[in-house]
Amino acid sequence: MSDFKALSEAIIKGNINMAVAETQSALDTGNSAQDILDKGLIAIMNEVGERFSKGLVFVPQMLRSAKTMRECTKLLKPYFQEGNSMSKGKILIGTVKGDLHDIGKNLVSMMMEGAGFTIIDLGVDVPPEKFVEKAKEVAPDIVGMSALLSTTMPAMPDTIEALRKAGIRDKVKVMIGGAPVTEKYAQKIGADSYASDAGSAVIRAKKLLGIS
Ligand code: B1M
């Protein structure tokens, strides 16, 4: 099985063509899509983050690596389809106000979709009132929020409060996630569920809605 060295190099350099070719080659040589995602793409983005913390790469390079990773995940999408069935539920998802990170949110959406949920994706930098407006319109089963910055995490309780003020808090379940978010934080702000990664987000969403 691959050590994903060439893939890692391509993503760090932001070489989309090479990274996509390496992802395809990893699939062709028998690596599972889950391993490519966890041991390859996500591990490499963590490495990019560490390099950024050390001042070895800067925002434009980080952005390029993110774009490269996004292209690679497209190849993995078909492998996370659980088969065609009726929608298991509606999930309204977005990255919270002030936050532009969307790779994690997109992976969660991809896995949820693969598991049979209908996804309504509000994108990034979503203010509480936008979550409320769309939730009123589409009546989701779950409102999902993602935050990658410690400075944007407070937008999560703000959104929960906005849902409460709009009178729809008890009509939806709230799930949160993102690298700085914890189970403890979810409990503190009154979210119904927390997931540390895209795979467990699916498991937790099913549990929230009583689906096995
Ligand atoms: Co940013 N960034 N960034 N960045 N960035 C981090 C998050 C950081 C940890 C890097 C570092 O310093 N080591 C740091 C945050 C520190 C902190 O607050 N704790 C940071 C910073 C500081 C910044 C800026 C402030 C930098 C600057 O401008 N000086 C700036 C902020 C911009 C803004 O948002 N307003 C910034 C900008 C960017 C880019 C735009 C360049 C780019 C994002 C591009 C994009 O997303 N389209 C970027 C990137 C790529 C990163 C790192 C390197 C990678 C993030 C990522 O995609 N990880 C990141 C370092 C790191 O995380 N190690 C970093 C891979 C992804 C699969 O993981 O998103 O955690 P993650 O998602 C996981 C789980 O968390 C979970 O499932 C996912 C899949 O398993 N999950 C959920 C996520 N959402 C969920 C929702 C759920 C359930 C589970 O339920 C609804």
CA–CA separation, 97 vs 149, rounded Å?
11
| Residues of the chain under the 70 pLDDT cut | 1, 83-85, 212
Q: Which atom of ligand 1 is nearest to the CA of 150?
A: 18
Q: What spacing in Å lies between the alpha carbon of 95 and ligand 1's midpoint?
A: 11
- The CB of 197 under 6 Å from ligand 1? The reply is yes
Q: Which atom of ligand 1 is nearest to the CA of 180?
A: 19
CA–CA separation, 2 vs 4, rounded Å?
5
Which residue minimizes the CA distance to atom 36 of ligand 1?
A: 59
Which residue minimizes the CA distance to atom 52 of ligand 1?
A: 49
Judge if pTM exceeds 0.85.
yes
- The CB of 133 under 6 Å from ligand 1? The reply is no
* pLDDT given at position 81: 80
Instruction: Name the burial class of residue 75, with classes exposed (0-12), middle (13-18) and buried (19+) by CB atoms within 10 angstroms of its CB.
Output: middle
* pLDDT given at position 85: 60
CA–CA separation, 141 vs 134, rounded Å?
12
Which residue minimizes the CA distance to atom 60 of ligand 1?
A: 49
CA–CA separation, 126 vs 56, rounded Å?
30
* pLDDT given at position 188: 98
**Strands lying side by side in the sheet with 193-194:** 118-121, 90-95, 142-146, 173-177, 193-194
Q: How many helices (H) and strands (E) does the chain have?
A: 10, 5
Q: What spacing in Å lies between the alpha carbon of 148 and ligand 1's midpoint?
A: 5
